[in-house]
């Protein structure tokens, strides 16, 4: 539970129960801490009441409500951080994160969790996956889904030049996604050695360690003064968005998935930049069949982004480690 800025406590809470016929209860095989959790953790979002944390999850179905038809107890399922019915027109267009019934998942940093709208939110694997693929499947539920969406939104194509702003877990997944989509050049803006190494392993071709104007100049130099065809903005600050805009060539699209905090646009510079913007909370539910297949076939290994495992009882240390950038992404063991 998050009580306030910097105050995470592991507590005993009642086991979740089916509240609606469309719910499922799952036993978590894995869960993790998200970059998004740090907005309230750092006091940048208000915490009105203790928050049950955790929205990235996969596990075994324990029980389902009477109206659930697509998953059954005993199956391994991957969820999405956005709860959706997957039937409303916005869902049909592939924007399940704007579902009229949307809720945001909470309470998954726990042994059990209740998932509302189970039919629209959960995807079962064909059979129980081997244990060593659990983390890759966990990544699908948010961090990979979000990085993938950033690349998809930015229209990464075969042969594209892609610039990734942000070397957090989502940025690194954006690199992996851009590589899978056939980008020939992937430039990552990163200042941290371990993250640079992982970015290179996921397919980055160039690293730019500078930020701001110097960083933009370095990207311009690498691209013959043109800029990227696609830019992935994976941070959500004014500085990162400004960098993304300045690294985009005219006609480029910026896929932005960092939740903006204090980001403002100047209409005139936006007009003259002549770029497209496509962002939002990732409709993770659009991608699972494909992403689950890639993980199960061992074509991608997004689970490598988790670099610190701790018992759930030590969740507070897990938050501190990520906050202080000692860890890219923490995995509280459930």
Q: Give the count of residues interacting with Zn ion (CB under 5 A).
A: 4
Residues sharing a CB contact under 8 Å with residue 150, sequence separation 6 or more, in sequence order:
170, 174, 177, 232, 233, 234, 255, 256, 257, 282
Measured from the CB atom, is 34 or 139 closer to Zn ion? 34
Residue 138 CA to residue 33 CA, distance in Å, equals 11
Residue with tokens 């830019």: 231
Residue of this chain nearest to Zn ion (CB atom): 34
Of 135-154, binders to Zn ion (CB under 5 A) are 142
Measured from the CB atom, is 298 or 325 closer to Zn ion? 325
CB of 307 to Zn ion, least distance (A): 16
Q: List residues bridging with 232 in a β-sheet.
A: 164, 255
CB of 36 to Zn ion, least distance (A): 5
Lay out the site mask for Zn ion across 55-84 (x = CB under 5 A, - = otherwise): -x----------------------------
Cβ-contact 117, 70 below 8 angstroms: no
Q: Tell me the two tokens of residue 273.
A: 């930049």
Q: Tell me the two tokens of residue 222.
A: 């690498």
Cβ-contact 20, 45 below 8 angstroms: no
Measured from the CB atom, is 142 or 229 closer to Zn ion? 142
Terminal alpha carbon distance of the chain: 15
The correct pick among 25, 26, 34, 254 for binding Zn ion (CB under 5 A) is: 34
Closest by CA position to 228, among listed 277, 272, 181, 164: 164
* Three-state DSSP state, 104: strand
CB atoms within 10 A of CB 157: 15
Measured from the CB atom, is 215 or 332 closer to Zn ion? 332
Of 274-293, binders to Zn ion (CB under 5 A) are none
CB of 106 to Zn ion, least distance (A): 11
CB of 305 to Zn ion, least distance (A): 12
Measured from the CB atom, is 134 or 246 closer to Zn ion? 134
Of 161-220, binders to Zn ion (CB under 5 A) are none
Binding site for Zn ion (CB under 5 A): 34, 36, 56, 142
């Amino acid at each position: 539970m998050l009580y306030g800025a910097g105050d995470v406590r592991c507590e005993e809470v009642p086991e979740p129960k089916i509240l609606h016929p469309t719910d499922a209860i799952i036993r978590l095989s894995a869960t993790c801490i998200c970059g998004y959790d740090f907005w309230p953790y750092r006091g940048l979002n208000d915490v009105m009441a203790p928050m049950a944390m955790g929205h990235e999850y996969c596990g075994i179905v324990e029980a389902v409500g009477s109206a659930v038809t697509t998953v059954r107890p005993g199956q391994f399922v991957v969820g999405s951080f956005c709860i959706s019915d997957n039937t409303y027109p916005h869902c049909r267009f592939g924007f399940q994160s704007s579902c009229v019934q949307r809720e945001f998942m909470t309470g998954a940093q726990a042994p059990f969790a209740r998932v509302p709208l189970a039919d629209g939110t959960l995807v079962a694997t064909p059979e129980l996956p081997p244990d060593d693929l659990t983390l890759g499947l966990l990544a699908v539920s948010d961090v990979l889904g979000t990085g993938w969406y950033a690349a998809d939104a930015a229209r990464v194509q075969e042969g594209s030049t892609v610039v990734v702003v942000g070397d957090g877990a989502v940025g690194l997944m954006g690199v992996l996604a851009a590589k899978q989509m056939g980008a020939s050049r992937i430039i990552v803006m990163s200042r941290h050695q371990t993250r640079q190494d992982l970015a290179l392993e996921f397919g980055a071709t160039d690293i730019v360690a500078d930020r701001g104007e110097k960083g933009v100049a370095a990207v311009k130099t690498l691209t013959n003064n043109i800029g990227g065809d696609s830019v992935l903005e994976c941070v959500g600050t004014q500085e990162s968005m400004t960098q993304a805009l300045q690294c985009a060539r005219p006609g480029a699209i910026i896929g932005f998935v960092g939740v903006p905090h204090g980001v403002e646009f100047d209409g005139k510079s936006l007009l003259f930049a002549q770029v497209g913007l496509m962002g939002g909370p990732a409709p993770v539910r659009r991608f699972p069949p494909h992403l689950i297949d890639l993980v199960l076939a061992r074509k991608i290994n997004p689970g490598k982004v988790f670099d610190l495992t701790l018992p759930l009882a030590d969740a507070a240390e897990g938050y501190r480690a990520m906050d202080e950038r000692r860890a890219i992404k923490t995995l509280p063991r459930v």
